[in-house]
Structure 1
Amino acid sequence: MSDLKVGIVGCAGRMGRMLVKQVTQTEGCSICGGVEQTGSDYLGKDIHGLAGLEPSGITVTDDTTHLFEMADAIIDFTAPATSVAHAKLAAKYQTILVIGTTGIAPEEQAEITESGQKTVIVQGANMSLGVNLLAQLARKVAGILDDEFDIEILEMHHHHKVDAPSGTALLLGKAAAEGRGVDHDAVADRGRDGITGARKRGDIGYAVLRGGNVVGDHTLIFAAENERIELTHKAGDRSIFARGAVRAALWAQGKPAGNYDMMDVLGLEG
Structure 2
Amino acid sequence: MTTPVRVAIAGASGRMGRMLIEAALKDEEVVLAAAFDRAGSPFIGRDAGEFAGVASGVAITDDVHAAVAAADCVIDFTRPEGTLAHLAIARELGKAMVIGTTGFEAAGKAAIADAAQAIPVVFAPNMAVGVNAVFRLLEVAARILDEGYDVEVIEAHHRFKVDAPSGTALRMGEVVARELGRDLETCAIYGREGVTGERKAETIGFSTIRGGDVVGDHTVLFAGIGERIEITHKSGSRMPYALGSMRAARFLRGRSNGLFDMQDVLGLR
TM-score interval for Structure 1 and Structure 2 normalised by the shorter chain = over 0.9
TM superposition shift of 1:30? 0.9
Give the conservation status (yes or no) of the 8 Å contact 1:139–1:177. Answer: no
Q: Indicate if the aligned counterparts of 2:4 and 2:31 stay in contact, CA closer than 8 A.
A: yes
Letter in 2 for 1:154: I
Task: Provide the secondary structure at the position in 2 that maps to 1:44.
Answer: coil
Name the structure 1 match of 2:38. 37
Q: Does residue 217 of the first structure (1) align with residue 237 of the second (2)?
A: no
Q: TM-score, normalised by structure 2?
A: 0.97
The residue number in structure 2 matching 1:8 is: 9
The answer on whether the counterparts of 2:76 and 2:98 sit within 8 Å (CA) in structure 1 is yes
Q: How does 1:28-177 map to 2 (within 5 A)?
A: 28-53=29-54, 55-177=55-177
Query: Which residue in 1 is equivalent to 2:227?
Result: 227
Q: Give the aligned CA root-mean-square deviation in angstroms.
A: 1.0
Which amino acid in 2 is paired with 1:189? I
**Could you tell me how far apart the structure 1 residues matched to 2:56 and 2:236 are?**
29
Partner of 2:179: 179
Question: Post-superposition, which runs of at least 4 consecutive aligned residues in structure 1 deviate over 6 A?
Answer: none
Gap runs ≥5 in structure 1: none
Task: Report if aligned partners of 1:74, 1:97 keep a CA contact under 8 Å in 2.
Answer: yes
C-alpha displacement at 1:163, in angstroms? 0.6
Secondary structure in 1 matching 2:12: coil
Q: 2:56 & 2:246 partners in 1: Cα distance?
A: 20
Partner in structure 1 of residue 257 of structure 2: 257
Give the fraction of aligned pairs with identical amino acids, expressed as a percent.
43
Contact 2:25 2:56 in 1 (8 A): no
State the distance in 1 between where 2:49 and 2:192 align: 45
Instruction: Supply the distance in 1 between the matched residues of 2:36 and 2:68 (Cα, whole angstroms).
Output: 10
Superposed displacement of residue 35, structure 1? 0.7
Residue 167 of structure 1, CA deviation? 0.6
Q: Output one character per residue of 1:49-88: Cα deviation in whole Å (capped at 9) or x when no partner.
A: 13321x2332111111111112101100000111111222
Amino acid at match of 1:236: G
AA at the equivalent of 1:210: R
Q: Is the 8 A contact 1:147 1:201 kept in 2?
A: no
Query: Deviation string for 1:142-181 (max 9, x for gaps)?
Result: 1222241000011111111111111110010000011112
Distance 1:244 1:145 in 2: 30
For structure 2, the residue ranges without an aligned partner over 5 or more in a row are: none
* TM superposition shift of 1:193: 1.2
The TM-score normalised by the length of structure 1 is: 0.97
Measure, in 2, the Cα distance between the counterparts of 1:98 and 1:47. Answer: 19
Deviation at 1:214, TM superposition (A): 0.7
How far apart are the structure 1 equivalents of 2:154 and 2:147?
18
Q: C-alpha displacement at 1:114, in angstroms?
A: 0.4
Deviation at 1:133, TM superposition (A): 0.9
Q: How far apart, in 1, do the equivalents of 2:232 and 2:144 lie?
A: 18
One-letter code aligned to 1:129: V
